[in-house]
Amino acid sequence: MENAFKRKQQICEIGQRLYNKGFAAANDGNITYRLNDNEVLCTPTMHSKGFLKPEDICLVDMEGNQIAGRKKRSSEALLHLQIYKERPDVKSVVHCHPPHATAFAIAREPIPQCVLPEVEVFLGDVPISRYETPGGQAFADTIIPLVKKTNVVILANHGTVSWGEDVERAYWWTEILDAYCRMLMLAKSIGKVNYLSAEHTRELLDLKEKWGFTDPRNDQEMENCDLCGNDVFRDSWQVAGVERKAFAAPPQALGRSTATSTPSRPSAAPAAVDEQQLVEMITDKVMAAMKGK
């Protein structure tokens, strides 16, 4: 049987970490924990997550009705409840606004893959949901096409939501994601982002499977050129308004795109010219130009 008071303490601890990290300004964010099939602990609305006390945490049912608590439940509880309905294995959900990941949410820029080993193992392809006004069921429904293939979603023009088997694990995915988004921005400001090869990425996916983490890229038996191309959630890009603008696709994904865009015209490619021939051609043109002076 769940110890409700202990879970409330854990929610308060994670709330303080969110606030201290700058992931939840003022009264931003919300945290829940599923006690059983019909009872969910929930943070209150209009309350800073950095100063929560166990007695502030309220109790709701799986339809969002408040059962207990002196403060009103979060207005975005329906998002959490929809995740629980879609994922019976999930025990806790964390929603907040980490600055670097939320920048990608505002730009609707897909998170590049095949860059950092830890991200490949712990996160994989991170989708961006379509935008809906927060708080209602329509907003909660935006995660339905995505929730079974990931543990963290970027909410367009809003923030992030992540989930797991306990409160800390649910929080972890958001912390990893925001740190990664910050690294990507810093790397791009220095020069460029270098991608891992498909071979090295496949090795990481094998390790991921060995350590007990699932990845849709393994389930879909993707070709090497698809591993780094954000192909798991590509079908959702158009409806969510997602488009690559700041970060180019990995070279192997670009190669695939080029190859598939003109499959019926292999004979149209120019004949190869070796280096010696090229030098001779340039020399002849230079000499002819000099004689004409």
Q: Give whole-number Cα distances, 42 to 21, 36, 53, 173, 259, in Å.
A: 21, 13, 12, 19, 50
**Tens-digit pLDDT profile for residues 253-276:** 765 543 333 333 333 333 344 455
Question: Are 161 and 101 spatial neighbours (Cβ–Cβ below 8 Å)?
Answer: no
pLDDT of residue 252: 73
- In this structure, are strands 30-34 and 40-42 parallel, antiparallel, or unpaired? antiparallel
**Tens-digit pLDDT profile for residues 192-235:** 999 999 899 989 988 888 888 888 887 766 666 678 888 899 99
Domains defined along the chain, listed by start? 4-190 (3.40.225.10)
Question: Are 236 and 242 spatial neighbours (Cβ–Cβ below 8 Å)?
Answer: yes
pTM for this prediction: 0.84
What CA–CA distance (Å, rounded) separates 49 from 30? 8
136 three-class SS: coil
Which amino acid does the sequence have at 196? L
E strands, 55-106, are 58-60, 66-68, 92-96
Task: For tokens 């230079």, name the residue.
Answer: 286
DSSP state of 236: G
Question: Are 233 and 147 spatial neighbours (Cβ–Cβ below 8 Å)?
Answer: no
**Tens-digit pLDDT profile for residues 149-169:** 999 999 999 999 999 999 999
Average predicted confidence (pLDDT) for the chain = 88
Question: Are 121 and 201 spatial neighbours (Cβ–Cβ below 8 Å)?
Answer: no
